[in-house]
Amino acid sequence: MAETTAGPAAPHSLKRVIGRRTLLLFVVGDILGAGIYALVGKVAGHAGGALWLPFLVAFVLAALTATAYAELVGKYPKAAGAALYANRAFGIPFVTFLVAFAVMMSGVTSASAAARAFGGSYLGEFVTLPAVVGAFGFLALVTLVNLAGISESVKVNVVLTVIEAFGLLVIVAIGVYALLTGEGEPARALEFHPEHGAFMGVLGGTALAFYALLGFEDSVNLAEEAKDPARDFPRALFGGLAAATLIYMAVAFTATMLVETETLVASTGPLLEVVRVAGLAFPPKLFALIALLAVGNTALINMIMASRLVYGMAREGIVPGAFAVVHPRRATPWVAILFTVAVAAVLVATGDVAGLADTTVLLLLCVFTMVNVAVLVLRRDPVAHDHFRAPSWMPALGAVVCLVLALPVTGRGADVYARAGLLLGVGVLLWLVNRLFMGGGGGLRPGSERRSSS
């Protein structure tokens, strides 16, 4: 791993002030989110009591793609991401656009999954409402925060990240206490779902558990502000991914040890079931509030980034310019915000937590396949500074794995593919309308490509 970095910052570039520890915390905070709070039971529906195993397998598979990001961010330390790498590797504007639009839509589907999770059992601790009604109310609240301004949104995000991490540590503490006092059934962690079996159960569970690990790729957007991206990013990326996975596995083991698999599968608030049966007393209502805030954080991050990406594409003339309209007082892209929340509302009304999460995973698996191929193609484009270089077999295997996980062999339903296809179809329609009727064209300059936490 190289000790040198790209050259000095240009006079008007972003300041390089972020060190390795801050990067590590950012990666961990970006990964932790609604996925683990909402999907433990859904993963158990595939894998059975051994639901910790899909999280471990998902980590191994995510690490393959992380090597591609680690090399590319060291090679091109720009505040960009998958769209930039696709543009450099393939040079086809429409492909670059599709990658960026897939990333944007994955943010919207992720926020929609979070909204559905918000309207479930966690909210039920305080008020009885139909899940869809709670989800719509939640989307309205997130939209108001987004419209208020980026400064206010980021401050809320920092507070919520600390809270959601605390909630997971509470579950881990419950698990440690249960082991020390002989509570629960640890042997259940070795039981697989009888209907799916070990292999297919873990494969299907892994495709869903992947959702909880998404967010690691987002750290590349801090490249221009890192002190030494070529050296620090690989260490922070792999360290943060490993730390988040250990927390997830501990949470999953605790859940399966203390709660029967059938109960986890049926619950829309699986970790709340853990708190209710815990020997270590913790107020269920307080944990439900923590879970609601964690879910809210995921949705807020994703809706912020999705709206800004639509705004950025409009500024570049890739989609109709109306999406680039900014509110005169709040300085927020209100048209882009309303567009993304309208898409999210349709998704909330027509999908469930598992289906929307799986759609997010499907879209990003396609993006990850492109990134893994791009890193190998870009080996023909050497740079002057030293940087991390992934063993060629890792991104090559990563591309194959992502492609396989995107196929129906994982048990993914046809509705997920139809939903992903329709969302990308919206992008194609916007592209065509802009080119044919509004005189737009050219390639995407992906300086603002970004998505976040699962």
CATH of the domain at 225: 1.20.1740.10
Residue 180 lies in a domain: yes
Residue 7 lies in a domain: no
Residue 451 lies in a domain: no
Q: How many domains does the chain have?
A: 1
Joined together, the tokens standing for residue 368 give: 């990850």
Residue 10 lies in a domain: no
Residue 202 lies in a domain: yes
Residue 48 lies in a domain: yes
pTM: 0.84
Residue 280 lies in a domain: yes
Residue 371 lies in a domain: yes
**pLDDT 10s digit of each residue in the chain, 454 long?**
444 444 444 444 445 656 667 777 777 877 887 788 888 888 998 899 999 999 999 999 999 999 999 898 888 876 557 887 888 899 888 888 898 899 889 989 999 998 898 888 888 889 888 888 888 998 898 888 778 765 555 566 677 778 888 999 999 999 999 988 888 899 998 888 878 778 888 888 888 888 888 877 766 666 656 677 777 788 888 998 998 899 999 999 999 999 999 999 988 889 999 999 887 788 989 999 998 888 888 888 788 878 888 887 787 777 787 888 887 777 778 888 899 999 999 999 998 988 999 999 999 999 999 999 999 999 998 888 788 899 999 999 999 999 998 988 888 889 999 999 999 999 999 888 888 776 655 554 444 444 444 5
Domain range enclosing 413: 20-437
